[in-house]
Structure 1
Amino acid sequence: MNRTVLRVEWYRWVRTRRLLALLAAFVLFGFLSLLGAKYLPDLIGQSADIKLLRVPDWRDGLQQYVKNTGLLVAAVAMILAAQACAVRSTEPIGIYYLSREVSPVRLYLPRILVAASVIAASALVGATVALYECWALFGSYPLGTGVGSLAVQGIAVVLFAVFAAAMAARIGTAGLAAAITAGVYVCCLLLSTVPAIQPWLPTTALQPTIAASGFSFADAAKSLLPLALATALALTVALTTPIRAIRATA
């Protein structure tokens, strides 16, 4: 693959400030989520109607982080990835690309790879901030459990974003691709009320449970496998559909 094409896509993320927005979102929630969990007793201490069952600990801090990033920041990553990979035949730049390129792999794969790399790096920075903040606020904790849980969430965020990017490449519009991905997310949330299938849902990987008992590779695989298969299918369709077919449906 031509490095120049990858460099162009990287500059797209930098110059449009998508990279800055995504990185800021991860870092911001890395700080605020842990701070909110730590000082929650002080925030509600003056209320006579609200009583905490226990004093928040490191699990609550990391759990708050994965809840926030698994919902809000994952949505931001999904939308930005879809925007980066949508090439519309009704826009001048889209006409330029679609009239000169015949291979969907050459046109879309660099965009998807750069989007996945940027999101993965941003998730890593956010997780590092959260793990450090957890140690600074709550003291020592089982690092392996924290790292494992945040790694699962990071992989899930990347897969969801790549799914949205592949949908945008196939459909040609970022808005519709994001709406479809959001619909899948909402359906998974509704299905998560059924205990038998809840461990297999992608939303379980996006918001993993931080347990004192430790990190389970088997549970992580259950929640990531369906998402990985759906993402692989979306990528296959996006990268094997001829450019002219994509233009005809855009």
Structure 2
Amino acid sequence: MNGWAWRLEWLRLRRTHRFLAAAALFITFGMSGPFMALYSGAIIARAGASLSVPPVAVTPAAGVASFVDNSIGLGLLLVIVIAAATLAIDHRPAVSIYYRSRARSAAALLVPRYVVVTLAMIAAYSVGAWITWYETAVLIAMPSAAAMVLGNLLVALYLAFAVAVVALLSALLRGVLLIAGVAAMVLLALPVAGLVPGLGAWMPSRLLTAQHTLLGTAGLTDFTPAAGVAAIATTICLTLATRYAYRREI
């Protein structure tokens, strides 16, 4: 069953075009982000002739930050919806019975779905991030490739955490829209909780800023607490998701 389940998930990903949808979004913002960072002052000045916009030196970090700021909200929402549609095993009872009658355990169903959709969403984001890197290098200046790689890995860790939250909710709730809605509220609540003094450095959502802040003054140690919490929380969510899915199964 395991080998067949892995193959099924790859086929499902290809046939539903979910990866292409996510990649198209991140690619669009990756292509427009550095451009907007470079010419935003001129665009604002043309939009309102009475506005006085002082010239500001545009850095590579600003080009990448434009991509992150513009893409991450809508991109994360799309990731949540795609993950919910993938992980909601019991959304269609007839299909659920078919899969569960052939699986040795809940993990045999959950793990392939989680891994495939997580890797697909990370790949979609990474394509957009590296298009941003190329356009920033052409239009502004060459960003540090090492900092980009490290930032990409930290954002990938956050995406793995976000999909794990969806996986846990898919074991507790029924319905794609309900799962996606609750997951969105949970993940959006984390940055708000990070406003509490002393908690910001520990919130997994802090990892979303790594892509551009590592090009500036931030270092890896600034994200170590958030990365540790994200890794532990991902493990806990997947463990609980498997346990609760098994209980539902029996």
Q: Same fold (TM over 0.5)?
A: yes
2:82 maps to 80
1:231 maps to 234
Which ranges of structure 2 fall in alignment gaps of 5 or more residues? Answer: none
Post-superposition offset of 1:9: 0.5
Picking from 238, 241, 246, the partner of 2:244 is 241
Is this contact kept in 2: 1:78–1:161, CA < 8 A?
yes
**Counterpart amino acid of 1:16?**
T
Is this contact kept in 2: 1:26–1:125, CA < 8 A?
yes
Is this contact kept in 1: 2:148–2:214, CA < 8 A?
no
Q: How many correspondences in the alignment?
A: 247
Picking from 218, 221, 227, the partner of 2:221 is 218
Q: State the identity as a percent.
A: 25
SS at 2:142 equivalent: coil
2:13 maps to 13
Is this contact kept in 2: 1:66–1:153, CA < 8 A?
no
2:121 maps to 119
Is this contact kept in 2: 1:9–1:111, CA < 8 A?
yes
Post-superposition offset of 1:198: 1.2
1:31 maps to 31
SS at 2:118 equivalent: helix
1:101 maps to 103
Distance in 2 (CA, whole Å) between partners of 1:52 and 1:104 is 59
Q: TM-score, normalised by structure 1?
A: 0.87
Distance in 1 (CA, whole Å) between partners of 2:180 and 2:227 is 20
2:170 maps to 168
Which ranges of structure 1 fall in alignment gaps of 5 or more residues? Answer: none
Distance in 2 (CA, whole Å) between partners of 1:214 and 1:230 is 27
Moved more, 145-154 or 15-24: 145-154
Picking from 65, 68, 89, the partner of 1:66 is 68
Post-superposition offset of 1:120: 2.0
Post-superposition offset of 1:89: 6.1
Post-superposition offset of 1:174: 2.6
Picking from 200, 203, 209, the partner of 2:202 is 200
Distance in 1 (CA, whole Å) between partners of 2:61 and 2:145 is 11
Distance in 2 (CA, whole Å) between partners of 1:21 and 1:166 is 24
Q: TM-score, normalised by structure 2?
A: 0.87
Distance in 2 (CA, whole Å) between partners of 1:142 and 1:107 is 40
Is this contact kept in 2: 1:27–1:129, CA < 8 A?
yes
Post-superposition offset of 1:52: 4.3
Distance in 2 (CA, whole Å) between partners of 1:57 and 1:28 is 21
Distance in 2 (CA, whole Å) between partners of 1:35 and 1:72 is 19
Structure-2 change in CA distance of 1:210 and 1:101 (3 Å): same
Post-superposition offset of 1:112: 0.8
SS at 1:196 equivalent: coil
SS at 1:141 equivalent: coil
Distance in 1 (CA, whole Å) between partners of 2:123 and 2:140 is 26
CA RMSD of aligned residues (A): 2.3
**Counterpart amino acid of 1:236?**
T
Is this contact kept in 2: 1:85–1:108, CA < 8 A?
yes
Structure-2 change in CA distance of 1:91 and 1:216 (3 Å): same
Structure-2 change in CA distance of 1:242 and 1:74 (3 Å): closer
Post-superposition offset of 1:15: 0.9
